[in-house]
Amino acid sequence: MAEFVGRLLDAFGSLSAIHGQAVLDIACGSKSSRSPETGRRTAAFEPWMCRLLEALGARPVGIDIGDLDGETFVHHRVDLGVPGALDFLATGSFDAVHESRLFGSPEFRAAHRRDTEPIRAEIHRQERRLLRPGGILVHSDGRPGSRGR
């Protein structure tokens, strides 16, 4: 959780600045995630960022292929390896987009063993499309968070 709080502080400057923000969490995690080592259900890939965002008064939207039934935030079950998978979301509809675990997800790696570079390019294109002008990208893959358009 400290890692997520740190990411939000780096991106927004303060936790109070998140209140009311529409935030898309790509590959948010699910309750059906399995450990790659044991094959057992693991809490490591649950939707912690969306839960934190909701607790901070943001309006998170979680996207994942796994089970999100019962979560109180808006969520959609989507296979992010399919081109155009996020086309149903309106252009410029988010104040921030968070993506951190898609390419490390055991389920994603198992489903999409082929070259993931085209998928990565599509996700990044969609992130830019979905951000409102001045929106914030929050990444943990080595790219710094940045302001959109």
Domain extents for the chain?
2-147
Residue 137 CA from chain centroid, whole number: 10
Structure confidence at residue 83 (pLDDT): 86
CATH tag for 2-147 (out of 3.40.640.10, 3.40.50.150, 3.30.930.10, 3.90.79.10): 3.40.50.150
pLDDT tens-digit profile, the chain (149 residues): 788 898 899 899 999 999 999 999 998 888 766 555 666 666 667 888 999 999 999 999 999 988 888 999 999 999 888 889 999 999 999 999 998 767 766 667 677 767 778 888 888 899 999 999 999 998 765 444 444 43
Given the structure tokens 């995690």, which residue do they identify? 29
Structure confidence at residue 132 (pLDDT): 96
Name the residue among 126, 128, 129, 80 with its Cα closest to residue 101.
Answer: 80
